[in-house]
């Protein structure tokens, strides 16, 4: 399974967790690859830090106004930007924007790009 598909699996598990309240780890397929599991576990462990970054960089939007799927995409990308040295920043950002294009409303990719670019610009990535 390609890493993009593994990211999507993590995003969907985190999204389902947000809307159902069930533990995200239980929402992943039992055969989910390690990368998907690591993303979900990392996001869950760092949620306060990730949400603070999203709030800080989503000017004019409170965290609860951002759609749950977009929040999940942003959390996964920010986790990769901050804590996954094996993932280049450009890849994490491109994957998040592509996921938003495919899964969210028309304005979502631009919003996701803006939040991630602001975090990168402020040096809040491994490369920064």
In a domain, 48, yes or no: yes
pLDDT in tens, 24-43: 999 998 999 999 999 999 99
pTM to 2 decimal places: 0.95
In a domain, 128, yes or no: no
pLDDT in tens, 45-99: 999 999 999 999 998 899 999 999 999 999 999 999 999 999 999 999 999 999 9
Residue 121 has pLDDT above 70, yes or no: yes
Q: What CATH number is given to the structural domain containing 12?
A: 1.10.940.10
Residue 124 has pLDDT above 90, yes or no: no
- Cα distances (angstroms) measured from residue 104 to each of 12, 82, 83: 12, 24, 25
CA–CA separation, 19 vs 76, rounded Å?
17
User: What does the mean pLDDT of the chain come to?
Assistant: 94
Q: Which two tokens stand for residue 36?
A: 């998907």
Range of the domain at 107: 3-121
In a domain, 126, yes or no: no
In a domain, 24, yes or no: yes
């Amino acid at each position: 399974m390609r890493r993009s598909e593994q990211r999507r699996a993590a995003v969907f598990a985190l999204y389902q967790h947000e809307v159902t309240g069930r533990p995200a780890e239980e929402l992943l397929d039992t055969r989910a690859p390690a990368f998907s599991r690591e993303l979900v576990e990392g996001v869950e462990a760092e949620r306060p830090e990730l949400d603070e970054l999203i709030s800080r960089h989503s000017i004019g939007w409170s965290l609860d106004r951002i759609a749950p799927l977009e929040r999940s995409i942003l959390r996964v990308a920010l986790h990769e930007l901050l804590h996954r040295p094996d993932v280049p920043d450009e890849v994490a950002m491109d994957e998040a924007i592509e996921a938003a294009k495919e899964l969210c409303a028309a304005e979502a990719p631009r919003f996701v790009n803006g939040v991630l670019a602001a975090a990168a610009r402020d040096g809040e990535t491994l490369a920064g």
